[in-house]
Amino acid sequence: MPTHDQHKPTDNDLHGRDAAAKVVHDVREKAEDALRNSKATAKDAVERAGRQIDGNPLGIVVGGLAVGALVGALLPRSAREKELLAPVGKRLGETARQALAAAKEAGRQELDSAGLTPSAAKDRGRELLDGVGKALSSAGSAAAQSAKRSENA
């Protein structure tokens, strides 16, 4: 039968328990620190996002639309979605083409009424070049006359 001395913990046993308790304590402290840091980081992120939304709400909406469009593009469509959305896509595409054509025509008409046609732009370019040429010629003549006067004086 074992004696009482055989069950008495040794110094190694006590040291091992102390070391294990210290490791558990250290791990718990690190986990608590990590949790506190994570909470602080999340709180900061929420506050920054709130300030950003207040400062630039349109940017947030545009960003949200972009993310939504990206997610929508990456998710595969079902056959039923394709069947239902195909006519809508065709109508949207045709409407966009018509709107672009109307905008181009309205822009052309506005430019024409302002006298900004391609031929008018060429004519104005020629007039500008002629004016620059005359100015350079006058400047050259004036410089030559000034030089002659300086020589004669």
HEC letters along 70-109:
HHHHHCCCCHHHHHHHHHHHHHHHHHHHHHHHHHHHHHHH
Query: Rounded to whole angstroms, what are the CA distances from 74 to 5, 12, 61, 78?
Result: 72, 61, 20, 13
Give the tens place of pLDDT for each residue, 88-106. Answer: 888 888 988 899 889 889 8
What rounded mean pLDDT belongs to the chain? Answer: 79
DSSP 8: S
For the chain, what are the domain ranges? 15-75, 77-116, 119-153
Number of H helices and E strands in the chain, helices first, is 4, 0
Query: Rounded to whole angstroms, what are the CA distances from 33 to 7, 19, 29, 44?
Result: 39, 21, 6, 16
Over residues 53-74, the mean pLDDT reads 77
Over residues 110-122, the mean pLDDT reads 77
Residue of 26 and 17 predicted with greater confidence: 26
- pLDDT for 2 beyond 60: no
State the pTM of this model. Answer: 0.31
- pLDDT for 9 beyond 80: no
**pLDDT of the residue at 98:** 92
Over residues 57-66, the mean pLDDT reads 76
CA distance 100 to 90: 15
